[in-house]
Each structure stands twice: as structure tokens, then as C-alpha cells.
Structure 1
Amino acid sequence: MPDTADIAAEREQIDTALAIEAARKRSASSPVPCGRCYNCDEFLAEGLTFCNADCRDDWQLRKRMQGMSIT
């Protein structure tokens, strides 16, 4: 019969695997920096994808809604 340490170790492995999977899904769906804001098309400094949090939130909401729509 497993003891408390075995149960905790197994739970930790499960939680770690779920966190890694979630991070991979997030990074796969994130836009790649292209020099312009993905929401408002403003020019950006190198490495940025959005000009501010509002643009990022608007873009994410629009993408979620597109995924929910039936086409």
C-alpha cells in the first residue's frame, strides 16, 4: 500500500505534466512578433506582439470568439 510520500510524488508528477501541457498549448497559440501590433497594426519595438495590454486582451477575446463561432 502506498504511503503519503508516494501519493504526493505521484500527484506532483501529474500536476507537472498538466502544467507543461498547458504551457505548450499557450505558446503554440501565441502570435510571433512581426514588428506590428496584431490588434491595431501599430509599429512596435523588436520582440513585441502587442502595443499594450488592451490590444492583447482584445485580440485574445476575438480569437476565442472565432473559435466558438460556427462556420
Structure 2
Amino acid sequence: MGLFSEPEPQKVEVKGHLLKCPICGEELFYEREAQLNTAVASFFNFDWTNPSATCLVCANCTHISWFLGECD
């Protein structure tokens, strides 16, 4: 079983290039979305207004690569 119970890690292309982990060279990643919280929005309970990022987690070493918005 991998780091996450669903789905299986996948190869990912970013701007037409196959992504490889900068730490171990792995080509398989788990994809997750994360919200980029700011202190002001959190203070006023407006966290939902913050932008989100795509996080690609290496299936081998668990290094996280962050991309603002969606990878395409």
C-alpha cells in the first residue's frame, strides 16, 4: 500500500514535460490540492477566498512539488 489509500500514483506532464522528482528521479506522483491560507483571510474566516495549489507527492521519497493552480 502506498502513501495514500486512493488512487494509484500516476505519471504527470507539466507544460509538455514528464515530471521527475528532483530528489530521487521517480516518475510516479500522487496528486492533491492544497489551499494557500493567508493570515488576513483566516482572521476574518474567509479562507475559502484563498487560492489553491496542486501538490504532487513523489510515490518514492514523498517530496512535495507545489504548483499554483492546476498543472497543464
Larger radius of gyration: 1
Compute the TM-score of the two structures, normalised by the length of structure 2: 0.21
Compute the TM-score of the two structures, normalised by the length of structure 1: 0.21
Higher relative contact order (CA 8 A, sep 6+): 2
Question: Higher strand fraction: Structure 1 or Structure 2?
Answer: 2
Question: Higher helix fraction: Structure 1 or Structure 2?
Answer: 1
